[in-house]
Chain A
């Protein structure tokens, strides 16, 4: 059947209102009588509060409440995160919360809270934190969960025994901050024992509401959480401390309270990317085929883990699955330190692990005298999946993060991506052998590939309601964090119904108005909620067609692009027949996304041309090509925007962005846009986005994940292009001039 809405570029929902400033975000909201909150933060990396006196602050006129660890519920927000605590674990940990008539007053009050600390020994390095004598950040020790995560397919020891050659390398990636343009904020208001919270969130249903109810001792139905508009998620902004503190202050003062992070707070206390140290060994047969891949990663989680645990597992995804290989293992440690807390960030650990994997693969290819593209074309994982035996029982959904063999992919267009990207960048015509360029400015071509799951295993619900007013109300509990999921879900609903998108009213991210939903994370919304909304819309459509047929006294009707078509009928507007509906026509659906027979993954191959200034160490990215298999593309322009935005975001991380932590004190030295250097509008190269893949047979309308896959191969693509230009592979992100010059000098490429 031809598609009318899916695959077209309808205007992004809400974009015009965002441009004109009419769209309100959490920090734009005000309630009558609202107070402003600010937080007092620890100046020490690790300390115990021995004395705390807020009486002077409370005496200031206009200051209404101060909360400390003594005033808050004992119930924890996360397993390792109290509401407030007598022990602070990083520079910037929350010590007290103040509500006052103005922000300036609340800030003034912070200066009048007296705190005496007993400073405790602190540890900032993950390897050091694993040593027995290291200071314990949490009582149960610094290894989160008490053990290493180990996943294995086959037997790597056996694999290495079969290998003709073994290659290895150590790789590092930095801590940096996601920092969406909007800082974290929450506004809390009580009506009796009922609480309403507006919040920057990715999971009003799955996280904020249950956490608020549990911590505050409220029945779930007394808590309403709304995320009005999100100013950037990037896998971040899910923890609930900001909402819990606003709610407690509001309860204490009897007035609505708004708490908003400053930019510096967002850098320090927002959840950052964990620094990673990775060691990778790859054994290959005489023909170069990988026979054993073994990766070990130590993740510096900082003071609290929250959703950060999921990051570690994903570091291994590439090593376990990107190349056809009988024996593969990933071991990961997630380690508490006194750094600012890490969390989930776009791509989770996948871009980090893919960096190590795809750089070492490049080194192997060159060592074996193979072209890096040729190597990948020969050995990348195919639609058949990995060799070996399926371990998931046949009736169960296949896992999101596979390790087992014997399971095919629903679709896998890695080959098409590799060929399309290579063609576009001119790989065969333009690439010179590594390190043969001369002169101060040296150019090179590099590439890397990646895979990413998205949505499998998530439960999703949707409700589609056709009203007598001639509108369709689509309710989904997910948050559109800015990536455009509201638009994509509207397209799927409109397609399934047979009406134009502008007949729809999308309702998202309000626990009172929408059915439960999972977190907007893991590039999951299109697959999970997309499936749910398609089923719900199809049910609503059946109801509508039955009603219309009865009403028009015809045996049956069809609905296409908003027109009812049937025997003899020629294009009656569907809205003209529903005015007398006694009530809404409702379709609902609840699904668990995934498959019992196939893995559903997205794939990508990236190519870049860079220029390295070997005198000053500066890398310029001249051109970038990103070829993606995300199945069918629901909205071509938004998809292109999503890919180029993701690539640019990670080019900036590849070259510059890093949180600088003073190694003596644990103070974050650059908590600002000025010094944590993101991409600016003059920094970006032309980015060409290709979608050479066919629709996926199992995904809704064939559409697979797209939010995170674009960021996965970026680091390795640049590192490999730099190696082509200079002959030197960089093993540490970011690739700063300092590191480039050091590496060139160490390998004798420039005078000592």
Chain B
């Protein structure tokens, strides 16, 4: 019989007591046990960023970390961020810039961009590119994504000289 380990994850502010096999990834837990499907399973091996969530505030690829590796930690998914006031400017900027086409990569981009703007309030275009380089968009909406994140930074942290 496969080993099962009881773990607690604090997901979007709520403790979740779970029982997992060691091989179960954080993404599987979120999508299949907790029905949080905002994080997408697009590569399942840490190569595309579509599954990005925050673990203790840091962006992480949920598909490429075992649930047991993050036990007792704070996990925030895009569903959790979507309820926050400081996420709204980011969301508005994505829509205003038409940043995205099919949308499958967008929750991952949005989570990583949210964390980026907390660390670097007004990043320039190249900072955004290098910080988000782990995120693939096969529709290649990259230019709009960079513009949206930059705009979101301005919306979140306006400075006097901004028009």
With beta carbons under 8 angstroms apart, the residue of B35, B45, B104, B142 that contacts A182 is B104
User: In the bound complex, how far is the Cα of B140 from the Cα of A642, in angstroms?
Assistant: 9
User: In the bound complex, how far is the Cα of B39 from the Cα of A24, in angstroms?
Assistant: 11
| Contact of A263 with B42 in the complex, beta carbons under 8 Å | yes
Chain A nearest CB from B129 CB (Å) reads 5
Contact with A along B4-47 (1 / 0, CB 8 A): 00000000000000000101100010011001111111111101
B24: A residues at CB distance < 8 A? 104
- Chain A interface, number of residues (Cβ within 8 angstroms): 60
Chain A nearest CB from B95 CB (Å) reads 5
Give chain B interface residues in 113-163, CB to chain A under 8 Å: 129-130, 132-133, 135-146
User: In the bound complex, how far is the Cα of B101 from the Cα of A482, in angstroms?
Assistant: 5
Decide if the interface of chain A is mainly helix, strand, loop or mixed.
Answer: loop
A649: B residues at CB distance < 8 A? 138-140
* Closest 6 A/B residue pairs (Cβ): A21-B38, A482-B102, A18-B103, A231-B104, A181-B104, A28-B37
CB-nearest residue of chain B to A15: B95
The answer to whether the Cβ of A517 comes within 8 Å of any Cβ in the partner chain is: no
User: In the bound complex, how far is the Cα of B27 from the Cα of A217, in angstroms?
Assistant: 38
Given A24-B37, A182-B42, A641-B144, residue A682 in contact with residue B104 (CB < 8 A)? no
User: In the bound complex, how far is the Cα of B28 from the Cα of A260, in angstroms?
Assistant: 14
A229: B residues at CB distance < 8 A? 102-103
With beta carbons under 8 angstroms apart, the residue of A21, A231, A233 that contacts B79 is A21
A483: B residues at CB distance < 8 A? 101-102
| Contact of B39 with A645 in the complex, beta carbons under 8 Å | no
Which residues of B line the A interface, CB within 8 A? 21, 23-24, 28, 31-32, 35-45, 47-48, 50, 77-79, 82, 91, 94-98, 100-107, 110, 129-130, 132-133, 135-146
Chain A nearest CB from B163 CB (Å) reads 19
Contact with B along A179-208 (1 / 0, CB 8 A): 111110000000000000000000000000
CB-nearest residue of chain A to B90: A19
| Contact of B138 with A180 in the complex, beta carbons under 8 Å | yes
Given A180-B102, A231-B104, A638-B98, residue A681 in contact with residue B133 (CB < 8 A)? yes
User: In the bound complex, how far is the Cα of B98 from the Cα of A102, in angstroms?
Assistant: 37
Chain A nearest CB from B100 CB (Å) reads 6
Contact with B along A645-671 (1 / 0, CB 8 A): 111110010000000000000000000
| Contact of A234 with B95 in the complex, beta carbons under 8 Å | no
B41: A residues at CB distance < 8 A? 27, 183, 260
Q: List 5 A-B contacts (CB under 8 A).
A: A23-B103, A181-B137, A231-B103, A641-B101, A649-B140
B97: A residues at CB distance < 8 A? 637
Chain A nearest CB from B45 CB (Å) reads 7
Decide if the interface of chain B is mainly helix, strand, loop or mixed.
Answer: loop
| Contact of A263 with B44 in the complex, beta carbons under 8 Å | yes
CB-nearest residue of chain B to A645: B140
| Contact of A19 with B35 in the complex, beta carbons under 8 Å | no
User: In the bound complex, how far is the Cα of B142 from the Cα of A483, in angstroms?
Assistant: 15
User: In the bound complex, how far is the Cα of B43 from the Cα of A710, in angstroms?
Assistant: 27
With beta carbons under 8 angstroms apart, the residue of B101, B138, B144 that contacts A678 is B138
A232: B residues at CB distance < 8 A? 101-102, 104, 138-139
B36: A residues at CB distance < 8 A? 21
Chain B nearest CB from A607 CB (Å) reads 17
Residue from B47, B98, B135 having most chain A Cβ neighbours under 10 A:
B98
| Contact of A641 with B98 in the complex, beta carbons under 8 Å | yes
| Contact of B91 with A21 in the complex, beta carbons under 8 Å | no
The answer to whether the Cβ of A230 comes within 8 Å of any Cβ in the partner chain is: yes
B50: A residues at CB distance < 8 A? 181
| Contact of B101 with A681 in the complex, beta carbons under 8 Å | no
| Contact of B141 with A645 in the complex, beta carbons under 8 Å | yes
Chain B nearest CB from A525 CB (Å) reads 14
User: In the bound complex, how far is the Cα of B98 from the Cα of A248, in angstroms?
Assistant: 40
User: In the bound complex, how far is the Cα of B50 from the Cα of A638, in angstroms?
Assistant: 22
Chain B nearest CB from A633 CB (Å) reads 13
Residue from B37, B97, B104 having most chain A Cβ neighbours under 10 A:
B104
